Structure 1
Amino acid sequence: MLVAPHVSAAARTLSPPAGVHRCPPGRPFHTYEAAPAFAREPREELFLLAVGNFVSQQTFYESARGRDDRYARLVGQLAVEDPVWTAGLLRWLRTEGNMRTASLVGAATYVRARLTAGACDGPSNRSVIDSVLQRADEPGELLAHWTSAYGRRVPQPVKRGIADAVRRLYSSRALLKYDTASRAFRLGDVLNLVHAAPDPQKPWQDALFRYALDRRHHPDQALVPASDRLLTAHQALLAVPADERRAVVTGPDGAERLASAGMTWEALAGWLHGPMDAAVWEAVIPSMGPMALVRNLRNFDEAGVSDEVAAQVAARIADPAEVARSRQFPFRYLAAHRHAPSPRWSAPLEQALGHSLANVPALPGRTLILVDRSDSMFWDTVSERSKLRRADAAAVFGAALAMRAEHADLVEFGSSNAVVRFQAGEPVLEVLKRFHSLGGTETAKAVRTHYRGHDRVLIVTDEQASHHCGCHGPTEPVPSETPVYTWNLAGYQPAHAPAGPYRHTFGGLTDTAFRLIGLIEAGRAARWPWTTGPA
């Protein structure tokens, strides 16, 4: 089954048609805290839900089942009504948006809805399936989701899209990493079901595919292709007697042998049948990726990794090129900072967090930044696999943006509100210590209290304003020609304010979002991130 991804929500400015947000006539529409709310146009609602939601995630105001059902309903509706837009959204979610589960579940829902409706216009179902599969374990995960949701019969467009992805993604290294007994669909199962032919440009794939099938269905007879150096080296390493393995790993060429055999740190622990002590970690650290390093900092400390090796780890963590390549959210580094108590990681994690915010603009003029610190922001985490609260993720972005602006007033709000003081150039993690938990969500009161003719207003929130707000929403005190940017972190259905030429809503939190402020204020037309035409 699909699990919540290590990935990120993505951000995007939304400009739905005028009049889309409104106090609906007839049936009243409210936020979850009883304030008058504004209905979203379906594309906007789906976008915000997709980038602000991890599949099967319980939230403060909405159950996991309710959110999943709403996501499926919106994808199914728009797959038929606007297939080009929806296919673009799903492709972008998995690539630039880096939202793995939402894109895979969405692609299955898209194809199911279009097959049921008999729709033939727009992008092919096959191409949509192929577009969301970006990692070698995902063909099997999509099949596992499809069979659990819709039954064992898999339609041809799904099979063909998966076969296209298999030719792109299956390699020897992928087989070692992802072809494990814990998978509902192993690589051989996928090949057996979709009948993918090897890529003519990859002559080695024929032997690899046959080995994957034998490894799954006839393990006693499976022979590693003699021409495959990685699999051959891996097989030789596995053949080392159990009582000699630790000596091999910690020997002078241990790190090289592990790397050449494609041995991951996860597999290494089981292969050794023993503890991952400092010497073992030091052998595998050179072949670990940057985020694997970040997730294991506490383990390095507990094992007693040397200061010399720790310095090498710290240098990689803080390397701006590595940070850019990892495409991680800034709050991943905040979570690591809180999880790894050793002071030797504080500086590199702070540097990495700074690098991950490299695209935050230095906004000119005066900016009011409001960060929601209400109860619901503390109840919800950024994903089910993270302990980091949305309140902290919001504070990271608010503080970073304020510190980059020409002149900013940074405010935390809930049932009360207060200015958060900061110094230019001080670490973002230090500024975070000055935020508090503030109860309810009285957004309008915070705006009225602190808006003093600023050039723009930015609100980072889940939009669930309390009933103290009027029908025109918490942004009413701000002149209509002054831009107000709202970051919706949760993807809830009700909007706290109406849309308009100077009112923009973003979904999720990444540094990508901040670049759009400059584009909007420069007068460029707002666009969906996967299109070149207007939204």
Structure 2
Amino acid sequence: MSRFNTRGGRPAASSPVTTTGQRTVTHEGATAHLRDAKSELFLLAVSNFVSQDTFYETGGRRDDRFTGLVRQLAADDPAWTAGLLGWLRGEGNMRTAALVGAAEFVHARLEADRAAAPGQTAAEGALPYSNRAVIASVLQRADEPGEMLGYWTSRHGRRLPKPVKRGVADAVQRLYDERSLLKYDTDSKGFRFGDVLELVHAAPSPDRAWQGPLFKHALDRRHGRDESIPEQLAMLRRRAKLMSMPVPDRRALLRDPWDRTLLDDAGMTWEALAGWVQGPLDAAAWEAVIPSMGLMALARNLRNFDQAGVCDAVAAAVASRFADAGEVRRSRMFPFRWWAAYKAAPSLRWAHALEQAIGHSLANVPALHGRTLILVDRSPSMFPGYGYSTPNRSDISLAEQAAVFGSALAMRAERPTLVEFGQTSNVMSVPKGGSVLRLVEAFGQIGGTDIPSAVKKHFDGHDRVVIVTDEQTRPGWLPSNCSGYGGMRETQIDDLIPRTVPVYMWNMAGYREAATASGGGNRHALGGLTDAAFRMIPLLDAGRDASWPWEQQGPSTGSGARRQS
């Protein structure tokens, strides 16, 4: 009888998030697995909102674990770590974690260089990117050069090494313009634009004739010099003209449709507009500023639009932007942000457009063939409350994020079994052609976390299993008749799911402890707050190896992590 040359056989595939073979226990006492340093850092980085507590881990402890791993891997594999940091701020869209990681990466390498033998540097020749380029790669918004300096000086002192200065200067040249000056150069910042320019000595770009006058004006603003605004800075001059108007005349200006372009031409954000009119924004004010608002700002203000009475024509224009796949992709909003907008909106006039937007933001979710068991964790550790918090605790819990991913996968799968679980579990109805947002609404909260019991109850010869969870399961128990003795023994996932069936553990919280081994043998770990990792499932299903996401896509023009002199 043939044992290996069979129609049902599949090639063995490997995935990057790998366990070491060492064991520990989950926070709930089940046997757990330890990951290697790269895998632990990756899963933590893609879920870590810096300084935020989680159910099982304080913000300070998470931050220490994160910086410790970055510093370790800056020495052990600097090229891999530089690639992670550039991708993290780019496609990964994790702003603060990428910034902190880049600062600690550079600090660790500079310390290693100082400790190296004379005439040598640590890991000489191992890094295809300069420290300067790593700093520049994570600074993608105009307020981030000041954020980098704020973090560095609070953590490592006022002395700025040359790679930090030069990396920040590169970013300043790329990011500073009139609109960003008006938006981010405020008195609330510890490092104003002028402070950054003085500290890093950024030179204006030779192909931006207006940038030299802009830099000079930023310095004048910082030091309170009453200099006139240079002629080259037309947006700043328009803003000054608006600010000189008598307050009683300002609202009247917003009601003239021919004058509404003045707001965008003057770099007026919706936040600044409230200060300019010196009062709440009414329908006319919102309708005047909405055309210049970004997608994130629009999604966050739907309640304000409804309460102010924004007209249906303007609402339809907003909805058309939500329905634009290209605009949604360019916004780089996390999928759960669209769920947050839907949950906060008072009226249903936004619902269809928000359903389209969340669909566009989940474009990487595959249409999996066959039967797929999808288990979504709804235990207390996935929710905020009871004196603890979760990442992004102000609006969307890990449980809701997990429900978004699980629902999207179920809606596109050929034959899904969608289950919400905790200590008990329930099968969810998945209507063909239904709404992801409505499906997310149907989830509840269930006490405890028991992955083995959910698997035992619902696995029934499925082609694959996807578990969206923080992995901190309780032990599952099965009767044991080993050596003729009765009793109970702890149950592992491998006791319940054959090795021929792929299991994909989607880690939502970045904890150190893994509920199952991963990296091969049809056991794989995924992570992140975007749908990017879903691209790995069809590859691994087909027996093809998967690599780190920045290695899959090749050199990224967005990362900026290139060697510079």
TM range (shorter): over 0.9
Moved more, 163-172 or 486-495: 163-172
Work out whether 1:230 is the aligned partner of 2:225. Answer: no
Match of 1:322 among 307, 323, 327: 327
The letter for the 1-side match of 2:530 is: T
Per the alignment, do residues 532 and 364 of structure 1 end up closer, same or farther by CA in structure 2, a change over 3 Å counting? closer
Q: Is 1:34 the equivalent of 2:29? A: yes
Q: Which residue is equivalent to 1:361? A: 366
> Which deviates more from structure 2 when the two are superposed, residues 396-405 or residues 313-322?
313-322
How many Å apart are 1:157 and its aligned residue? 1.0
Map 1:492-511; keep pairs closer than 5 Å.
492-499=511-518, 500-511=520-531
Post-superposition offset of 1:228: 2.2
The answer on whether the counterparts of 1:39 and 1:495 sit within 8 Å (CA) in structure 2 is: yes
Contact 2:54 2:390 survives alignment (8 Å): no
> Which residue is equivalent to 1:124?
130
For residue 475 of structure 1, report the CA deviation from its aligned partner. Answer: 4.2
Alignment of 1:530 with 2:550, yes or no, is yes
| Counterpart residue number, 2:202 | 196
Following the alignment from structure 1 to structure 2, what is the Cα–Cα distance between the partners of residues 522 and 459? Answer: 19
- The equivalent residue for 2:482 is none
Q: Deviations over 1:159-182 (max 9, x none)?
A: 011011111111111111111111
Is 1:512 the counterpart of 2:532? The answer is yes
Task: Identify the residue that residue 563 of structure 2 maps to in structure 1.
Answer: none
The alpha-carbon deviation at position 471 of structure 1 amounts to 6.9
Cα offsets for 1:354-399 (capped at 9, x unmatched): 2222221111111111111111112376633632111111112112
Q: Which residue does the alignment assign to 1:22? A: 21
Task: Report 1:336-347 matches (<5 A).
Answer: 336-347=341-352
Contact 2:372 2:466 in 1 (8 A): yes
Q: Determine the C-alpha separation between the residues in 2 that align with 1:198 and 1:468.
A: 62
Moved more, 304-313 or 135-144: 304-313
Equivalent runs, 1:175-324 vs 2, <5 Å: 175-217=181-223, 219-324=224-329
Separation of aligned partners in 1, 2:443 and 2:251: 47
Give me the whole-angstrom Cα distance separating, in 2, the residues matched to 1:346 and 1:526: 36
- Which has the larger Rg? 2
Using the alignment, how far apart are the partners of 1:70 and 1:266 within structure 2?
Answer: 36
- Deviation of 1:516 (Å): 1.6
Cα RMSD of the aligned pairs, angstroms, is 1.9
CA distance in 2, matches of 1:334, 1:386: 14
Deviation at 1:23, TM superposition (A): 4.4
SS at match of 1:37: strand
Of 397, 408, 411, the match for 1:403? 411
> Where do 4+ consecutive residues of structure 1 move more than 3 Å?
380-386, 469-473
* Distance of 2:474 and 2:380 partners within structure 1: 12
CA, structure 1 residues 303+392, in 2 after alignment: closer, same or farther (shift >3 Å)? same
Which residue, out of 430, 445, 459, partners 2:453?
Answer: 445
What CA distance in whole angstroms lies between the structure 2 residues aligned with 1:38 and 1:110? Answer: 27
For residue 33 of structure 1, give the secondary structure of its aligned residue in structure 2.
coil
User: What amino acid maps onto 2:277 in structure 1?
Assistant: L
Cα drift, residue 351 of structure 1: 2.2
- 1:89 deviates by 0.5
* CA distance in 2 between partners of 1:16 and 1:420 (Å): 29
Please give the alpha-carbon distance, in whole angstroms, between the structure 1 residues aligned to 2:389 and 2:326: 28
Aligned positions of 1:446-485 closer than 5 A: 446-468=454-476, 473-485=492-504
- Between 1:234-243 and 1:452-461, the stretch displaced more is 234-243
CA distance, structure 2, for counterparts of residue 275 and residue 409 of structure 1: 48
Per mean C-alpha deviation after superposition, the further-off stretch among 236-245 and 55-64 is 236-245
Instruction: Give distance in 1, aligned partners of 2:266 and 2:303.
Output: 26
Compute the TM-score of the two structures, normalised by the length of structure 2: 0.88
Q: Which range is displaced more, 383-392 or 448-457?
A: 383-392
1:470-496 Cα shifts (integer Å, max 9, x gaps): 777334311112111110000000000
Deviations 1:108-159 (A, max 9, x none): 1111111111135413211110111111110001000111111111111100
CA distance in 2, matches of 1:160, 1:220: 27
Cα deviation 1:188-215 (Å, max 9, x = unaligned): 1000000011112222211111111111
TM-score (norm 1): 0.92
| Offset from partner CA, 1:255-297 (integer Å, 9 cap, x none) | 1111111111111111111221111111111111111111011
1:489 aligns with 2:497: no
**SS of residue in 1 equivalent to 2:549:** coil
Q: Aligned with 1:370: secondary structure?
A: strand
Q: Is the 8 A contact 2:338 2:357 kept in 1?
A: yes
Residue aligned with 2:44, SS: helix
Structure 2 gaps, min length 5: 1-13, 114-121, 478-488, 555-565
Which residue is equivalent to 1:9?
A: none
SS in 1 for 2:35: coil
More displaced stretch, 484-493 vs 466-475:
466-475
Q: Distance in 1 between matches of 2:206 and 2:532?
A: 37
- Do the aligned partners of residues 533 and 275 (structure 1) sit closer, same or farther apart at CA in structure 2, a change above 3 Å counting? closer
* Match status 1:151 vs 2:152: no
Given residue 260 of structure 1, which amino acid in structure 2 is its aligned partner? D
| Mapped partners of 2:530, 2:492: distance in 1 | 25
